[in-house]
Amino acid sequence: MICHLKNQSQRICKITLPNKKPLVLDTDMISSFAWVKRVDIIIKLYSPEIILLDVVEEELSKTPHLMEQIDDYIESKEIQFIKMDLYSIEGLEYVHLQRN
């Protein structure tokens, strides 16, 4: 855990996980945290190693009040927004999964 003083009365702590890998958000996961207004938990555990794919952003944008919470984290670079190349191996797998 790493802590620093924000001001005289407030200490900010961040839990660091050893050898953590990037967290790729799916719609179910991020929307569950957004519904209860606790995306901050994911941020504290994984930022800046959090990835939001454009396909997930597209699904979230159907529920504007959820997307508003996520937008703030994207703007502050705590969540990385990445466009998926649908012709990559991962993209082709995604298309395949969507059809089945």
What pLDDT sits at residue 22?
Answer: 85
Residue whose C-alpha is closest to residue 14's, from 52, 50, 46:
46
User: What are the domain boundaries of the chain?
Assistant: 18-99
Residue 26 has pLDDT above 60, yes or no: yes
Which one, of 82, 17, 12, lies nearest residue 52 by Cα?
Answer: 82
List pLDDT tens digits, range 68-94. Answer: 999 999 999 999 998 888 788 877 887
Residue entry with tokens 């995306």: 39
| From 3-7, 10-14, 65-69, the region with the lowest mean pLDDT | 3-7
Q: Is the pLDDT of residue 62 over 90?
A: yes
Contact at 8 Å (CB) between 68 and 61?
Answer: no
